[in-house]
């Protein structure tokens, strides 16, 4: 990148190792022009918070999908937004050792055993970063799919650092490994895409997923009706 000294106005080439614009998309002329046009047409912002971060996408998705009595199995190096989402969901959180698939399976079996003893129905979700934000290593998607689905759990992956850079064409972990996607993918536009916004993709209708989601939509509708009546 070109670094300009604000004191004397001189410029010099510098390698930047602390940027989220992984692909330097922030400097593509067509994108800059499109951004300028959009600002001129619609203004500089939405006028309020609109869930526009990867952080909020994780918090919102986990707390919408999981609730009291559910289990979330979380890698010990997961991003803070995943940890906050689990806390907000009030589900039981079992943390497994980083990228340790045997420890994940142990945690799931432990939870299933406890649920079976209580006579309740087991509902679980495995959640992990795709590329770990601190260590930069990758989650083992094929094994995660095998273990999560083998134990009737949902699998959610946070592709914040994978989008645009992992896989032959930047489509993330599934492309990298040549396997299926997780059930739910969460992402952010603030890293490689060099913009702002959170996203959630549900790849297929999954019976484990549709139940809590349907409950969530039902209570949302009830809350809206209540506030309209007041
Ligand atoms: C793995 C991971 N998920 C989510 C986020 C949150 O993304 P955002 O900065 O868009 O809120 C980050 C941010 O660094 C991250 O590292």
Per-residue pLDDT of 32-47, as tens digits, reads 999 899 889 988 877 7
Q: Which of 98, 133, 149, 151 is catalytic?
A: 133
Of 69, 64, 117, 129, the closest CA to residue 93 belongs to: 69
83 in Cβ contact with 62 (< 8 Å): no
**Three-state DSSP class for residue 139:** coil
Cα 164 to the center of its chain, rounded Å: 15
* Whether 86 contacts 64, CB under 8 Å: no
Q: Say whether 161 is catalytic.
A: yes
pLDDT tens for 145-199 read: 999 999 999 999 999 999 999 999 999 999 999 999 999 999 998 898 887 888 8
Cβ–ligand 1 distance for 195 under 6 Å, the answer: no
In which residue ranges of the chain is CATH 3.40.640.10 found?
54-217
Q: What are phi and psi of 214, to 5 degrees?
A: -65, -40
Average pLDDT for 134-138: 94
pLDDT tens-digit series, residues 78-87? 999 999 999 9
Ligand 1 pocket mutation pick from 21, 55, 137 by most atoms within 8 angstroms of CB:
55
Ligand 1 atom with the smallest distance to the CA of 58 is 4
How far apart CA 209 and CA 34 sit, in angstroms, is 37
Indicate the CATH number for domain 54-217: 3.40.640.10
191 annotated active-site: yes
Q: Which two tokens stand for residue 154?
A: 């949902």
Q: Establish whether residue 73 lines the binding site of ligand 1, counting it when its CB lies within 6 angstroms of any ligand atom.
A: no
Query: pTM of the prediction?
Result: 0.82
């Amino acid at each position: 990148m070109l670094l300009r000294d604000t004191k004397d106005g001189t410029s010099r080439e510098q390698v930047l190792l602390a940027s989220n614009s992984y692909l330097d998309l922030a400097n593509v002329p067509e994108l800059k022009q499109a951004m300028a046009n959009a600002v001129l047409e619609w203004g500089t912002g939405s006028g309020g918070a609109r869930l526009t971060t990867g952080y909020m996408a994780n918090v919102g998705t986990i707390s919408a999908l999981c609730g009291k009595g559910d289990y979330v199995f979380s890698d010990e190096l997961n991003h803070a937004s995943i940890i906050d989402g689990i806390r907000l969901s009030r589900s039981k959180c079992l943390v497994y050792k980083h990228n340790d698939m045997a420890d994940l399976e142990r945690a799931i079996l432990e939870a299933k055993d406890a649920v079976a003893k209580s006579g309740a129905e087991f509902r679980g979700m495995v959640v992990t970063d795709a590329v770990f934000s601190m260590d930069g290593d990758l989650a083992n998607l094929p094994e995660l799919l095998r273990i999560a689905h083998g134990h009737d759990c949902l699998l959610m992956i946070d592709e914040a650092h994978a989008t645009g850079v992992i896989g032959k064409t930047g489509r993330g972990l599934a492309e990298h490994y040549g396997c299926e996607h997780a059930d739910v993918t969460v992402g952010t536009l603030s890293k490689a895409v060099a913009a702002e916004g959170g996203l959630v993709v549900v790849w297929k209708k999954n019976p484990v997923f549709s139940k809590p989601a349907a409950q969530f939509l039902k209570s949302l509708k009830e809350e809206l009706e209540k506030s309209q009546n007041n």
